[in-house]
Amino acid sequence: MNLSNKILSAHLVEGELKAGNEIGIRIDQTLTQDATGTMAYLQFEAMGVPRVKTELSVSYVDHNMLQQDFMNADDHQYLQSVAAKYGLYYSRPGNGICHQVHRERFGIPGKTLIGSDSHTPTCGGLGMIAIGAGGLDVALAMAGQPYVITTPKILGVKLTGTLQNWVSGKDVILELLRCLTCKGGINKIVEYYGPGVASLSMGDRFTITNMGAELGATTSVFPSDDVTRGYLKAQGRETSWTEQKADDDATFDRVEIRLHTKNDERALTAMKTENGASSFINLSVTEPDAAGFVVTSFDGVVIDLDKLEPMIAQPHSPDNVVTVKELEAQDLKAAQACIGSCTNSSYFDLSIAAHMLKDRSVNPGTSFTLTPGSKQVFEMIARHGQLADIIASGARILESACGPCIGMGQAPPSGSVSVRSFNRNFEGRSGTMDAKVYLASPETATAVALVGKIADPRHVAETFGIAPVKKEEPDSYLVNDKSVLPPTENPEGVTIVRGPNIKPIPEFAGMPDTLGGKVALKAGDNISTDHISPAGAKVLPLRSNIPAISEFTFTRVDPEFPKRCREWGGGFVLGGDNYGQGSSREHAALSPRFLGVTAVIVKQFNRIHRANLINFGILPLTFVNPDDYNGIDFADELELPNIGDTLRNATEQTGTLTLVNKTKGTECQVAYDLTERQRKILLAGGVLNLAKQK
């Protein structure tokens, strides 16, 4: 067996572990962050469960840190009181980013974790099955319910060789994104194995599993080995270590990826390349069909770390990847460079930057910010001298939080280039709509800060005489858990604090017999949850207020969308490929549902968003013939007749429906893929309605 199926098998409580089957797994740990957690705990309270039933649950505050008014501060008080009453640990504001702190203090090899944040797979670097999910799924897990998913295929990625100087784990995951694209991991677990694994530090492993979310993967996982043991020992948690590895003769699934030739020529070229860092095991390619797709299938990926070089993702997608060397000759001046986010804010990452900055100055044309990922990281760089080197260089230090990654401050100048060690570069996510955001390693970001333009860190190191960094984790970490508050032993004495911004969860009706309405929005490919429900300092404080946050729904795509939905009574949303990529935020389903959206019809869904749509009673459908998308226009009146009876009486998981275009007098076929459980959820109008019925 491979490692993924070993851990899933040990936690299986419902269904058969077979790719494509629906299964329920026991969840050992949960985490939430404040932008998604407030709604998750309102949902948990609605279930009437007196205490969480997991082995460990943690509520983190790391997103909504700007307290411009009462709203964020009120939500923090609510989260702290809920944690105390219901049996959760509470990580206070300033203690750090949830994924950084969880791997430091709570993650355990071989355990399962789900979190209401799409980058929860970070802890897969420890040998956990760690999955991002919607807040409602996390609330159900805290209530003792199994987490239900479609059994993913296991994609094996074999690592050989050793990373060369100035090349890091960030370059590994960017290389994989170059080859597989942002939809290459959908309904798959990416499992890393091979002789190259042992050469990777834990920091590199965490970066790789973190950005597996950008592949659309269910999660990513590394074995738990002696490197893992050394890391946990340094954190004072060696007793939590167990060896977790695949069998010597483990096999992985043959997987399939559909590429669109117009958008993914680069990925197809990468797949066919034999002399690069990556190669594909038993790769087969089918030429474009009538819909313009290329189907590629393969038994696994091999990445030769010896051949890998610094990589960079260009605007506006994490899979728009080229080598840094390719851009270096273009003289792309950078107004900003940033190191931080849950991807690259470890002690190791900031130590690299400090080493490169020591006795040097940040280029006068570039603003350089660094964010320690946790209080532990912050304290260590302060006590060990790196903080002084960073400050002396002219760089800026930010609070231990998500910060600019989620659009909370540090928006770059208009039309400028920003190079960030973050995980997403969607248009407008930085807070500046016309900024050109690139994603790269801390080594590359620091090189950019030193010379003021996109530059290969190998060349910058040679120019400045910077010695290579020795890739070693410290023998011990400073452990200070004063900002992690345990739950009270007297929950009866705790009063839940609710500020005026916290509104009740909206109630939704069950599915009618016929769904009808106009096309309220027709969107293209790669619509992210940032497009649907934006982040940033203006919007995030409204996460506990669905009526208020709904006014921002799709406004980055069409500013009139909320007003139109109110006037039309909702309607349908159409989309292209990879719809719903990005953050796990369930508000991207809750807000459209509040505005009356009843069905979303696309070419392909991202996993977490599709699950969130079902949880809140929105019907997810795909075009049987993707070309039919072109035959439907904005404001066309559509109808799905007898949908209620169809879902009630369905005996198969998959089927087709007739979509009637009443405006044009045409019809087309759309497909559903819904288990019996999911059909019941949709008919009830959402998971909470179904729970109340039970």
pLDDT of residue 441: 97
Question: What's the pLDDT tens digit per position in 647-691?
Answer: 999 999 999 999 999 999 999 999 999 999 999 999 999 988 887
Are 3-304 and 311-464 equal in CATH topology? yes
Q: Quick one: DSSP state of residue 579?
A: B
DSSP for 283-329, please give it: -EEEPP-TTSEEEEEESEEEEETTT---EEEPTT-TT-EEEHHHHHT
pLDDT of 440 > 80? The answer is yes
Name which of 15-19, 261-265, 463-467, 621-625 the model is least confident about. Answer: 261-265
Two structure tokens written together for 626: 């993707």
Identify residue 506 by its one-letter amino acid code. P
**Sequence-ordered list of residues with C-beta below 8 angstroms from that of 139, at least 6 positions apart, any chain:** 40, 41, 43, 44, 47
Query: Rounded to whole angstroms, how far apart are CA atoms 71 and 364?
Result: 37
Two structure tokens written together for 184: 């290459």
Query: Rounded to whole angstroms, how far apart are CA atoms 583 and 33?
Result: 12
Helices 98-105, 375-383: axis angle to 10 degrees equals 80
Average pLDDT over all residues of the chain: 93
Query: Rounded to whole angstroms, how far apart are CA atoms 204 and 482?
Result: 28
Strands 22-25 and 29-32: unpaired
The structural domains of the chain, with segments of one domain joined by +, span 3-304, 311-464, 515-693
Taking the model in full, what pTM does it have? 0.91
Name the one residue in this structure whose structure tokens are 């969860």: 505
pLDDT of residue 275: 67
| Phi-psi label, residue 515: left if phi above 0, alpha if psi -120 to 50, beta otherwise | beta
CA torsion 70→73→75→81, rounded to 10°?
A: -130
Does residue 126 contact residue 7 with C-beta atoms inside 8 Å? Answer: no
CB atoms within 10 A of CB 612: 27
pLDDT of residue 142: 97
Two structure tokens written together for 596: 């009356």
Q: What is the mean pLDDT of residues 518-545?
A: 89
The CATH label, of 1.10.3720.10, 3.30.360.10, 2.102.10.10, 3.20.19.10, for the domain at 515-693 is 3.20.19.10
The CATH label, of 3.30.499.10, 3.40.50.11900, 3.30.420.40, 2.40.50.140, for the domain at 311-464 is 3.30.499.10
Strands 637-640 and 515-522: antiparallel
Positive or negative: CA dihedral 82, 87, 91, 92 = positive
Query: Rounded to whole angstroms, how far apart are CA atoms 101 and 345?
Result: 11
Name the one residue in this structure whose structure tokens are 């009437």: 48
Q: Coil, strand, or helix at residue 242?
A: coil
- Rounded to whole angstroms, what are the CA distances from 594 to 22, 42, 267, 618? 28, 17, 38, 10
Question: What's the pLDDT tens digit per position in 372-412?
Answer: 999 999 999 999 999 999 999 999 999 999 988 888 888 99
Question: What's the pLDDT tens digit per position in 189-236?
Answer: 999 999 999 999 999 999 999 999 999 999 999 999 999 999 999 999
Nearest to 662 by CA among 684, 636, 641: 636
**Sequence-ordered list of residues with C-beta below 8 angstroms from that of 577, at least 6 positions apart, any chain:** 183, 260, 263, 525, 526, 602, 603, 604
pLDDT of 482 > 80? The answer is yes
Query: Rounded to whole angstroms, how far apart are CA atoms 518 and 660?
Result: 11
The CATH label, of 1.10.1040.50, 3.40.50.10380, 3.30.499.10, 1.10.10.10, for the domain at 3-304 is 3.30.499.10
Name the one residue in this structure whose structure tokens are 């948690």: 237
* pLDDT band at residue 46 under the 50/70/90 scheme: confident
Does residue 394 contact residue 374 with C-beta atoms inside 8 Å? Answer: no
Instruction: Identify the bridge partners of residue 656 per DSSP, sorted by sequence position.
Output: 671
Please return the burial class of 534, using the count of CB atoms within 10 Å of its CB with bins 0-12, 13-18 and 19+. buried
Instruction: Identify the bridge partners of residue 31 per DSSP, sorted by sequence position.
Output: 58, 115
Identify residue 39 by its one-letter amino acid code. M
pLDDT of residue 575: 96
Does residue 355 contact residue 469 with C-beta atoms inside 8 Å? Answer: yes
Positive or negative: CA dihedral 479, 483, 484, 487 = positive
Query: Rounded to whole angstroms, how far apart are CA atoms 78 and 497?
Result: 5
Query: Rounded to whole angstroms, how far apart are CA atoms 689 and 46?
Result: 11
Query: Rounded to whole angstroms, how far apart are CA atoms 615 and 637?
Result: 25
* pLDDT band at residue 274 under the 50/70/90 scheme: low
Name the one residue in this structure whose structure tokens are 């909470």: 688
Nearest to 421 by CA among 348, 490, 517, 487: 348
